[in-house]
Amino acid sequence: MRFVKISFLFFVFSCFCFGQEWVIDYKGTFYDEEVFYSFFPKNDWKKLSFEKRKGVLSGFIKRQACLYEAEAVGLSLSVSLHKKLSNRFDRLLVNEYYMKSFLGGLIPESALNFCKKNLDKDVFVRHILLPLPLNIKDTLNTKAEALLIKKQLLLGFPFDSLATLYSSDPSVSENLGSLGWISIGQTFPSFQNKAFSLCLGCVGVVKTDFGYHVLKVDSLKKSDYSYLKKEDYNNFAFRFASSYIKGDLSSLAAAHDSLVLKNNGFIIDRGAVSVFINKLVFLNENFSSRSSSLFLDSLRSFDRPLLGFGSNVFSGNWLASQFEWGLYKKPFYDNEGKLIKEIKLIVLRSIIKSLALEKGLEFSYSFVSQYNAVRGSLIEKSFFKHLKSSVVSPSESEVKIYFNKNKTLFLNPTTKEPYILKDAYGSVEASLLKYKQDSVSSLFLNSLGQSSSVKINEGFLYEK
């Protein structure tokens, strides 16, 4: 991709006008570093070579150009795109609820505070591992041995020698007990609690599922997370703090979901579900077609109440609309148990979405970041699909010319001889249409590197 040079005066003017440093200007619309860093993490950008930066920036230009052009041609009004975005919005919002409300209620406050406090640093750790024995008496002896090794280290015994002599770590012969740089989230909670609580040069002992570890912290440095903006920093700290949750998460989630359904008065008429399934099976046998349309049409026409929650009761028509509007490709359920299970999931997602909206989670930083990324990706794909759909089908003369130039692409698999145009016309037409569609996409991408519509802040590209 060619990068368009900009004048020094234009650079000064832009920096003066905008609080954030601008990255690109596409057709007079400026995209600053905050928008760019939502596309590609700042700490990762700082590590890239110049050549790799050009590749990332090329992807950013492509994304923003597609968003701009999609808006210009009215793709935002597309029903199919709206449906996809709405579904992604709902799914991400439900996920945000489980992250913030469900997991947030299980994470110990002390664990979250610990992760926030220590996420901005890395520690260089060395350890000696003593495996756990099978009986309690020997476990006490192992602990005593670990404390004795700690004492020897404090007296000045070489760590390398003690690690080689005592450690059961299979890599000890190569690393002499060195684990290297460790960030929050890379080790078990009990291990990292001890590692990040030790002062520089200090030695400690901690028990994990692997055994007793004698630790020593050799060095400290700033972590990559220390360069993140506050919101991203806190999100990572929250994610790593979730490893401190006690109990089986799947069981806790199941109990939570059951309580949510109960508190919202969820009921299901199993008798009605059974009647519907029997009707569907009968129709399916008569039509000999296990089709999604048969399933949805049967649901729409089933006016008997199937379920209820909140203060409402719903028949098959409501359920059919949920299947149609959701991300179900070809729904078909002729098994009572499977259909009931799916109904519960649909209702649960509906309730959780309402709870998330009540809490205003659609405005949370993590949700907005995720949704914008998904939205950008979907619109980008939609724009290229729009470009391809704008290509006119090849004329008969175009097909003939293309065939004559590319006869070797259309060989008879038996004789290995080229088909005559009459026999291969459909394949040739389809191949040419695809070629034209790919050319339109390539032409658009190439134009981004050659057009004066794109201006790049080369200072941002080169900065350290």
Residues near 235 by Cβ (< 8 Å), separated by ≥ 6? 365, 366
Cβ–Cβ < 8 Å for 128, 112 = no
- Tens digit of each residue's pLDDT (9 = 90 or more) over 189-216: 999 999 999 999 999 999 999 999 999 9
Domains within the chain, CATH numbers bracketed: 110-244 (3.10.50.40), 250-358 (no CATH), 380-455 (no CATH)
Whole-number pLDDT of residue 287: 60
CA dist., res. 299 & res. 276, Å (int) = 8
- Tens digit of each residue's pLDDT (9 = 90 or more) over 206-256: 999 999 999 999 999 999 899 888 999 999 999 999 999 999 999 999 999
Cβ–Cβ < 8 Å for 169, 152 = no
CA dist., res. 60 & res. 65, Å (int) = 8
| E strand residue ranges, 27-107 | 29-32
- Tens digit of each residue's pLDDT (9 = 90 or more) over 102-115: 999 999 999 999 99
Identify the band that residue 186 occupies on the pLDDT scale cut at 50, 70 and 90: very high
Mean of all residue pLDDT scores within the chain: 90
Identify the band that residue 6 occupies on the pLDDT scale cut at 50, 70 and 90: very low
Rg (CA), the chain: 31
pLDDT at 15 over 80: no
